[in-house]
Structure 1
């Protein structure tokens, strides 16, 4: 069985190759290593191999893991659906939230951040597959949301996140990614946040190379490094079983 370090090196090489195919360099794509269900000892193997960006889907799991790895130089990202009543806990460890999808959550985050005297990087989640099982704004709602978001000074919008449809139809997967890229391109021209919205978080273990070819600047990969999980991905990503 390949080690975590070997798998991480293999994923990094594939990220580099996909970036080259899309006319970019490896440094243009950030890998967020998804650690859901993975014990801290194995996560530390990835950290020892040079990985610094870690992502979690569940607040309680993320907080516990962040405490266990408190001595390591890592940056935690919340990539799963976030309930407003978990904001206080998520801000104990996360430096970024990639699942901002409604104004009520925006207001709760901003209020807590104002109290803490700090800011937070955020990505707006968009439901590009139009599946009822998935969270995220409808593409037609994004422009209005960004105008409202401009009023919350403690949040730093950096771009957008999506999950493609889980399907063997590669054309459909690419379509989902292209929808998000088009939203990003329009927002950079028209939204109050402008050029700050350049990032695209899209692509997981089953489709991250395709996502990079379609413009991803962030990919969220777990199983390709740690191996299959004991729980199905539907436990973490509604409608996305098998692609985390």
Structure 2
């Protein structure tokens, strides 16, 4: 069943790319595996997926011990400063940086192991009180501050759009983040590129791709509904 789910998602990504004249290789599919057992991750790995997203540091640490070393782990959930040291050595990308203090801690831990850690700035596109992320109008200033840190490199932006039954409702938010990334790129800030846009989840990733997403985070669409009681 997982292989069928994955094929359906892949077909949708191709359809969205075709619709907006993009190449399939411009979009990375991140299989969001939070709360899912290692056996399910292995099954998707065997289908060719190498990028996995987790919301909790503990899950990344536990799962990477049991799975192949060529997996790219993405930290997509809210990151607490006291947990940073556990993932800095080998996380592929931290999507959820929304304060200078968090970036500073990542920089401190990265310096200890002489690694430059790629991050995305999480933007709260819809200004939802229930969500993390910096306000769009404050993003440039935060980027300018974080860019001065030696052991971090800013690769782009991330957003979590509002939950909606109709993905078209989120198009304006994705468009806003894309425009913001273009504006920031024009500033030509050292240590900053805006090549990555992490936006779009199971309900709206096709619309996100049409608006410029380079990373889509799909969990339920691949693994099915989550069981939070485990």
Shorter-chain TM-score tier: over 0.9
Task: Tell me what 1:138 maps to.
Answer: 135
TM-score for both structures, normalised by structure 1: 0.90
SS across alignment from 1:197? strand
Give the number of aligned pairs.
229
- Of 120, 124, 134, 1:123 maps to 120
Q: 2:215 maps to which residue?
A: 218
Question: Tell me, what secondary structure is at the counterpart of 2:52?
Answer: strand
> Which residue of the other structure, out of 10, 17, 39, is the alignment partner of 1:12?
10
1:84 aligns with 2:109: no
User: Shift of residue 195 of structure 1?
Assistant: 7.1
1:182 aligns with 2:179: yes
User: Higher mean Cα deviation, 171-180 or 218-227?
Assistant: 171-180
* Partner SS, residue 193 of structure 2: helix
Secondary structure in 1 matching 2:104: helix
Contact kept in structure 2, 1:143 and 1:191, CA below 8 Å:
no
TM-score, normalised via structure 2 length: 0.95
Give RMSD over aligned pairs.
Answer: 1.5
* Distance of 1:97 and 1:56 partners within structure 2: 10
The equivalences for 1:1-244 within 5 A come to: 3-69=1-67, 71-193=68-190, 196-231=193-228
- C-alpha deviation, 1:43, in angstroms: 0.3
Instruction: Map Cα deviations across residues 116-161 of structure 1 (whole Å, 9 max, x no partner).
Output: 1111111100000111100001011111111111211211111000
Give, in whole Å, the separation in 2 of the partners of 1:62 and 1:127: 24
Alignment check: 8 A CA contact 1:147 1:191 kept: no
Query: What is aligned with 1:235?
Result: none
Are the aligned partners of 2:156 and 2:196 in contact in 1 as well (CA < 8 Å)? yes
Preserved contact between residue 120 and residue 157 of structure 2 (Cα < 8 Å): yes
The verdict on how the C-alpha distance between 1:170 and 1:39 changes in structure 2, with shifts beyond 3 A counting, is closer
- The Cα shift of 1:171 comes to 4.3
Distance 1:58 1:147 in 2: 27
How much has 1:169 moved relative to structure 2? Answer: 4.7
Unaligned runs of 5+ in 1: 233-244
Q: Which stretches in structure 2 are left out of the alignment for 5+ residues?
A: none
